Structure 1
Amino acid sequence: MTPVSSVLLVDDHGLVRHGLQLLINEALPQLRVQLCGSLAEALHTLASAGRFDLVLLDLTLGDVHGMAGLHKLREAYPYVPVVILSAQDDRDTVLAALDAGAMGFISKAAAPAELRHALTRVLVEHAIHLPQSVSDGLAALPETGGRELSELSALGLTERQVEVLGYVVQGLRNKEIARRLDRSEVVVKKHITAALQALGVPNRTKALVALSQRGYRVPAVLDSR
């Protein structure tokens, strides 16, 4: 799978922002990393600087706080994958971020080696990464990195249901998936329900956690706007 080539890093602390940029450049020198210090700057950059393959977003910014920034970013750019990179990494916050459309979460409290590993999983392997405190919330499962979502057909999922689940993993909402597939939201909801039942989870947030534990890749979603 083609490595991510461009990343937008959004954090309002200059030292943290540049420190993370150095770490990313050291771990993944092939990436182009652009920095923003506010949500407003990030939205302007996304509108004017072309396509980004991933946004790394801090939850606490000077011009917006908490999930509000994630909600605004997902609403404006639903097809740009977002991973939260935050020191606020308690279980409730992580799950709330996933529910709001983030496709992963990296803790700023992670050791440099762990952070490099997380970035490699997300940016190069396209794997879903969550803090251990959250992924440990489910029964222990062997992680076999690099698994494709198409393998879920072994659970009885159709090709369309697997495709819809891929969009769910990317954080797309039902109306966005319906628009992309040219289907009704009712049909999309039925596909999502079938996928959740096959995974044995009650909602899309728990599905993301389960897929993370199993080491599944995040399929690429092209901006169809």
Structure 2
Amino acid sequence: MTASSPNPQRLVLVDDHEMVLHGLGAMLGHFPDEVLVVGQVTTGAAALTMVAEQRPEVVLCDVRIGKESGLDLCRQITTQYPDTKVVLLTVYDDEHYLYQALRVGASGYILKRIDGQELVGHLRRIREGETVVDPALAGRVALSAARLNAGEFWSGAHLGLTQRESEVLELLVAGHSNKAVASKLVVSEDTVKTHIRGLYRKLGVADRSGAIAVALREGLFH
């Protein structure tokens, strides 16, 4: 039998659905020796305020919080409050989101179908310094890594880029304008701009030169 923690982990829960918050809070309430929920909020702004006030050990949040990005929130928290860990607890069973989460400093990526005992076990491992990936995704991540090493995956996948975003970035690196990229990919300029905004966010840059610098530093295109 695993010994209980000397003091429970202090958690803040972030989700735009109040029913999810109540359910998660109730589920974790069965493990008072392991975890203590000190705040439940529905927006990123409220989460930052709660973290500043409570200084929890862990924030559990979704990849999407309404129209907000849980990944952006993760980056803000891990930057401003390095002693607070962030775990993405989500329905998004997608390795690309996982790559992005790890890139912005998440300590875990766990799917919401998990039960309370498993979640508390993962939180215990995170407290001990591990980075936890949901077992349902771990195998697929390993396969993706193998495909990448074998040259069978697109460049930038490990940074969270979709195949189309990778194609757009490659054309930007080659010096093409948005209009030229749209022509080559047979899509509208608005679609190209949408892809560019997405890859900027995933790469953590603000402009084209920043994206190109990341691509060159990572050796994405040869």
TM-score under structure 2 normalisation? 0.54
Instruction: Specify every segment of 5 or more residues in structure 2 that has no aligned partner in the other structure, as ranges.
Output: 144-217
Q: Which residue of 2 aligns with 1:99?
A: 103
1:121 to 2:122 alignment? yes
3-state secondary structure, aligned to 1:78: coil
Selected match of 1:35 from 31, 40, 51: 40
Please say which structure displays the higher CA radius of gyration: 2
Q: How does 1:4-15 map to 2 (within 5 A)?
A: 4-15=8-19
Residues 17 and 9 of structure 1: CA distance in aligned 2, closer, same or farther (over 3 Å): same
Cα distance in 1 between the residues matched to 2:99 and 2:20? 24
3-state secondary structure, aligned to 2:106: coil
Per-residue CA deviations over 1:6-56 (Å, capped at 9, x if unaligned) read 111111100001101111112x1222202111111111112223x211111
Identity fraction in percent: 26
Q: Which residue of 1 aligns with 2:82?
A: 78
CA-CA distance at 1:3 after TM superposition: 4.8
Selected match of 2:134 from 107, 131, 134: 131
Cα distance in 2 between the residues matched to 1:121 and 1:67? 20
CA-CA distance at 1:68 after TM superposition: 1.9
Corresponding letter in the other structure for 2:118: H
8 Å contact from structure 1 (residues 23, 116) kept in 2: no
Residues 128 and 65 of structure 1: CA distance in aligned 2, closer, same or farther (over 3 Å): closer
Corresponding letter in the other structure for 1:133: A
Aligned length: 135
Cα distance in 2 between the residues matched to 1:63 and 1:42? 15
Q: How does 1:138-217 map to 2 (within 5 A)?
A: 138=142
8 Å contact from structure 1 (residues 4, 53) kept in 2: no
CA-CA distance at 1:138 after TM superposition: 3.2
Q: Which residue of 2 aligns with 1:143?
A: none
Cα distance in 2 between the residues matched to 1:4 and 1:89? 29
Bigger relative contact order (CA 8 A; separation at least 6) = 1
Cα distance in 2 between the residues matched to 1:52 and 1:97? 19
CA-CA distance at 1:63 after TM superposition: 5.5
Cα distance in 2 between the residues matched to 1:119 and 1:95? 23
8 Å contact from structure 1 (residues 6, 52) kept in 2: yes
Per-residue CA deviations over 1:89-141 (Å, capped at 9, x if unaligned) read 2111112101110011110133x3xx5213223236635321123322438xx
Residues 15 and 119 of structure 1: CA distance in aligned 2, closer, same or farther (over 3 Å): same
Selected match of 1:24 from 12, 20, 28: 28
- Root mean square deviation, CA, Å: 2.4
Instruction: Specify every segment of 5 or more residues in structure 1 that has no aligned partner in the other structure, as ranges.
Output: 140-201, 203-225
Q: Which consecutive segments of 4 or more residues in structure 1 shift more than 4 A?
A: none
Q: Which residue of 2 aligns with 1:44?
A: 49
